[in-house]
Amino acid sequence: MNQDVLLHERDVRGVHTITLNAPHSFNVLSESMMAAFQRALDAVADDLDARVVVVGASGRVFCAGHDLKEMRARPELGYYQALFATCSKLMMDVRKLEVPVIARVQGLATAAGCQLVAQCDLAVAVTEATFGVNGIDVGLFCATPSVALSRNMLPKQAMEMLLTGDFITAQEARDRGLVNRVVSADALDGEVTTLVERILCKPREAIAMGKTLFYRQLEAGMESAYQLAGQSMACNMVHRVAQEGVQAFIDKRKPVW
């Protein structure tokens, strides 16, 4: 089909919208899809005025994971190693962006598609959405998706999904920490917009420092986490946005950022 597999738009406020746009193939993370996605993430990283990224998809399915037909056509260890390294870099670059990334989940998210939801900083899903890491059904344990999944929910909850291939509902995904909010389909865009607006009214610099620290401390022991957090807060406090915010609080006025 002669259509772009991924759409990337930016509005005047610095809100980037990345849309997986291959509904005919359930928005699988094919080689072409991952290459386009990586270019979009690189563009966001280079945009010093970027504020928020929304990752969505066209059609009924959010993302059905890797392109198994494409993978089956090249049964070579070196090819698979390179493919999964490419996907892992993409997922890590979502996390490394200075700005929050919100998953807009309008349908099924499975395997690497579920991984993408887990990798985003926030996620809003429709009530009808379902989530699974069902590679085990075709003899492939979803190892790379397990990295992100196990950092969103309790280990035994993640392991049950990985071992059985069973899907969970959007409400179960919310209860387990995979998504933030669950809404009806007609309320999805409004709910995402609400989150975007709440972020846009906060200072970009503080959010960038905070996001970086948040994920660094998660991987550290408690003592190291407090050291990292203390240093981050000290650097944040001497920054102009915090100085202005604190002074505005003292003056009983709105801060000017």
Per-position DSSP letters for 183-227, written without gaps between them: E-GGGHHHHHHHHHHHHHTS-HHHHHHHHHHHHHHHTS-HHHHHH
State what percent of residues in the chain have pLDDT above 70.
99
CATH number of the 6-200 domain: 3.90.226.10
Query: Residue 202: CA atoms inside 13 Å, Cβ hemisphere, count?
Result: 15
Report residue 201 as tokens.
């009214």
Whole-angstrom CA distances from 110 to 70, 95, 150, 181 are 17, 19, 15, 18
For the chain, the domains span 6-200, 204-251
On whether the pTM is more than 0.85, the answer is yes
Q: Is 170 helix (H, G, I), strand (E, B) or coil?
A: helix
Whole-angstrom CA distances from 207 to 10, 100, 142 are 19, 8, 32
List, for residues 182-215, the tens digit of each pLDDT value.
999 999 999 999 999 999 999 999 999 999 999 9
Query: Residue 52: CA atoms inside 13 Å, Cβ hemisphere, count?
Result: 22
- pLDDT higher than threshold 60 for residue 164: yes
Count CB-CB contacts under 10 A for residue 162.
21
List, for residues 32-80, the tens digit of each pLDDT value.
999 999 999 999 999 999 999 999 999 999 999 999 999 989 888 999 9
**Best CA proximity match to 67, nearest among 119, 1, 2, 113:** 113
**Best CA proximity match to 192, nearest among 114, 106, 118:** 106
Do 6-200 and 204-251 agree at the fold level? no
What's the topology of domain 204-251? Lyase 2-enoyl-coa Hydratase; Chain  A, domain 2 (1.10.12)
